[in-house]
């Protein structure tokens, strides 16, 4: 593990801000993964970003493969998004009333997802998922839900059990403050193990919904087998159980729409976030009319939010998705991800390091393991000490990745050939540092 004095780059200002932040912020951060607990050393504080680059307060430049965990798919500071946001800011920040742009963005989102007639905008992925728990129970009249170990659906009580992401990073199995009653109706299945789902369905006749990340991104990038994901759709439909597909991370990342279409399935309810707001706080959930018309004011399932459909976020979302559709960068993403995968595997082999790489579209993740990673248990068996050295090696070489073995890397449409050369060089140097 790297101690503070092992870091060769200048991070004096980041260290000073970390110390200052301890006084009035919890751990000097507002989200646990930013604390760098799993990789040692102090967190980096960022100052600005543009295009494919992000810059810390000490002036260090990095190629950004975090991209705010996905939403900056066009890179930072896209001119069309900035123009749309500036225009809206001058008109008004928030009204607590309806605006035309909510209708415009709703049409774009619904047209991108088969089977989605209506959508409700909220303020985060977490809020979207917790709203859908209530909606699924209202629609089915049942109470239990099934989730998969290692899949993270935000920090709402009912799903904050056997989660990945920050909980895996900090080796916390759950969270204090979550009462047993909050999770008593949550059943845990194993990702890529259809028998674990069948067992719950056979033993519990009160299951309202199954929640899944179509491509897991919070235990690292883990793909479902074709058999698993398609049989999951079949058995939930046969049992009258709603399949909720959480595309907060995967939405618009592998195609213009969702991963579910590429996987050959159709969700009953889809959860969205991140990219739909172009980097502003946005979440959404959508489904066919018969389900969405359960939601107030059309139905009796209550959910509300003063800032839902915030006009600035709607403007950013419209501009982002319009530009994304015009660019259609998905083939480029696949090519760049394949190049990065090869660079990772070649560098690992050259240095005698066991490594496997998973990727899907513009999401990619190396696991320090000789084993193919198909579920959370296998992900947890990775060599996190090697990942720590690799992380700091990349930082030293100007490549910014998530400070966790259990988070996906993301590509943006502005990554250039020169950036790719720097990424490959950085990977080679970082592997040597291990």
Instruction: Examine the domain organization and report whether 341 and 317 are in the same domain.
Output: no
**Distance between CA atoms of residues 332 and 55, nearest Å:** 25
Residues 47, 110 within the same domain:
no
**Three-state secondary structure call for residue 393:** helix
The CATH number of the domain holding residue 28 is 3.90.1150.10
> Is 138 in the same domain as 177?
yes
End of a domain among 300, 326, 352? 326
Listed in sequence order, the residues at least 6 apart from 2 whose beta carbon sits closer than 8 Å to its beta carbon are 39, 40, 41, 388, 389, 392
> What's the confidence (pLDDT) of residue 55?
98
Same domain, yes or no, for 46 and 134?
no
Residues 282 and 211 in one domain: yes
**Angle at the Cα of 209 (from 206 to 211), degrees rounded to 5?**
140
Domain check: are 415 and 360 in the same one?
Answer: yes
Q: Are residues 46 and 94 in the same domain?
A: no
Q: What is the per-residue pLDDT for 104?
A: 98
pLDDT of residue 173: 36
Q: How many domains does the chain have?
A: 2
The verdict on residue 347 lying in a domain is: yes
pLDDT tens per residue across all 434 residues of the chain? 333 435 568 999 999 999 999 999 999 999 888 989 889 888 999 999 999 999 999 999 999 999 999 999 999 999 999 999 999 999 999 999 999 999 999 999 999 998 999 999 999 999 999 999 999 999 999 999 999 988 888 877 777 665 444 443 333 335 677 777 777 888 999 999 999 999 999 999 999 999 999 999 989 999 999 999 999 999 999 999 999 999 999 999 999 999 999 999 999 999 999 899 999 999 999 999 999 999 999 999 999 999 999 999 999 999 999 999 999 999 999 999 999 999 999 999 999 999 999 999 999 999 999 999 999 999 999 999 999 999 999 999 999 999 999 999 999 999 999 999 999 999 999 999 99
Asked if the structure places residue 71 within a domain, the reply is no
Q: Which residues are catalytic?
A: 152, 246, 274
Q: Judge if 187 and 262 occupy the same domain.
A: yes
Q: Provide the greatest CA pair distance for the chain.
A: 61
Where are the strands (E) in 332-371, listed by range? Answer: 356-360, 363-367
Same domain, 308 and 343: no
CA-to-CA distance for 87 and 96, rounded, in angstroms? 19
- With 0-12 / 13-18 / 19 or more C-beta atoms within 10 angstroms meaning exposed / middle / buried, residue 268 is buried
Give the per-residue pLDDT at 123: 95
Residues 238 and 143 in one domain: yes
217 CB contacts (<8 Å, ≥6 apart)?
249, 250, 363, 407, 408
Of 280, 311, 326, the last residue of a domain is 326
Asked whether residue 146 is domain-assigned, the answer is yes
Question: 283 has which bridge partners?
Answer: 122, 273
Same domain, 370 and 386: yes
What's the pLDDT at 155? Answer: 79
> Does residue 378 lie in a domain region?
yes
Question: Is 246 domain-assigned?
Answer: yes
- Choosing from 293, 326, 359, the residue where a domain stops is 326
Buried b (16+ CB within 10 A) or exposed e, 15-45: bebbeebeeeeeebbeebbbbbbbbbbbbbb
Contacts of 24 (CB under 8 A, 6+ apart): none
Range of the domain at 36: 4-64+329-433
CB 378 within 8 A of CB 371: yes
Residues 285 and 417 in one domain: no
**β-strand pairing of 207-212 with 144-148:** parallel
- In a domain? residue 73: no
Domain-embedded: residue 36: yes
* Burial of 55 from C-beta contacts in 10 A (0-12 / 13-18 / 19+): middle
Q: With respect to residue 72, please indicate whether it lies within any of the assigned structural domains.
A: no
Residue 181's CATH number:
3.40.640.10
In sequence order, the 6+-apart residues with CB closer than 8 A to the CB of 289 are: 117, 118
């Amino acid at each position: 593990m790297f101690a503070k004095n092992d870091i060769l780059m200048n991070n004096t200002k980041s260290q000073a801000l970390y110390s200052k932040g301890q006084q009035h912020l919890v751990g000097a951060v507002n989200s646990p993964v930013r604390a760098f607990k799993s990789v040692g050393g102090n967190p980096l504080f960022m100052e600005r970003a543009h295009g494919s680059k992000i810059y810390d307060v000490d002036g260090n430049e990095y190629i950004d493969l975090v991209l705010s965990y996905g939403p900056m798919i066009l890179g930072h500071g896209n001119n069309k998004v900035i123009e749309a946001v500036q225009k809206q800011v001058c008109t008004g920040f928030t009204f607590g009333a309806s605006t035309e742009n909510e209708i415009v963005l709703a049409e774009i989102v619904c047209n991108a997802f088969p089977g989605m007639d209506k959508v409700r905008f909220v303020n985060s992925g977490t809020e979207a998922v917790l709203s859908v728990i209530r909606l699924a129970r209202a629609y089915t009249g049942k109470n239990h839900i099934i989730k998969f170990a290692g899949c993270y659906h935000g920090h709402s009580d009912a799903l904050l059990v056997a989660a990945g992401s920050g909980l895996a990073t900090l080796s916390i199995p759950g969270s204090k403050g979550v009462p047993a009653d909050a999770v008593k109706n949550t059943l845990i299945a194993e990702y890529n193990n259809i028998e674990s789902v069948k067992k719950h369905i056979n033993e519990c006749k009160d299951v309202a919904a199954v929640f899944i990340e179509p491509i897991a991104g919070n235990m690292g990038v883990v793909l479902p087998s074709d058999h698993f994901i398609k049989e999951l759709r079949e058995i939930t439909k046969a049992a009258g159980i709603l399949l909720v597909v959480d595309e907060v991370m995967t939405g618009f990342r592998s195609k213009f729409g969702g991963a579910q279409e590429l996987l050959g399935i159709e969700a009953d309810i889809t959860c969205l976030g991140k990219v739909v707001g172009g980097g502003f706080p946005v979440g959404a959930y959508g489904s066919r009319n018969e389900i969405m018309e359960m939601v107030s004011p059309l139905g009796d399932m209550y959910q509300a939010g003063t800032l839902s459909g915030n006009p600035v976020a709607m403007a950013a979302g419209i501009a982002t998705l319009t530009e994304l559709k015009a660019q259609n960068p998905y083939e480029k993403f696949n090519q760049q991800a394949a190049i990065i995968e090869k660079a990772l595997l070649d560098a690992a082999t050259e240095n005698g390091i066991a490594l496997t790489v998973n990727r899907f579209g513009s999401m990619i993740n190396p696991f320090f393991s000789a084993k193919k990673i198909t579920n959370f248990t296998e992900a947890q068996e990775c060599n996190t000490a090697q990942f720590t050295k690799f992380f700091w090696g990349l930082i030293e070489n100007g490549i910014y990745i998530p400070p966790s073995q259990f988070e996906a890397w993301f590509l943006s449409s502005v990554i250039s050939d020169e950036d790719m050369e720097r990424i490959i060089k950085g990977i080679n140097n970082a592997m040597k540092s291990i």
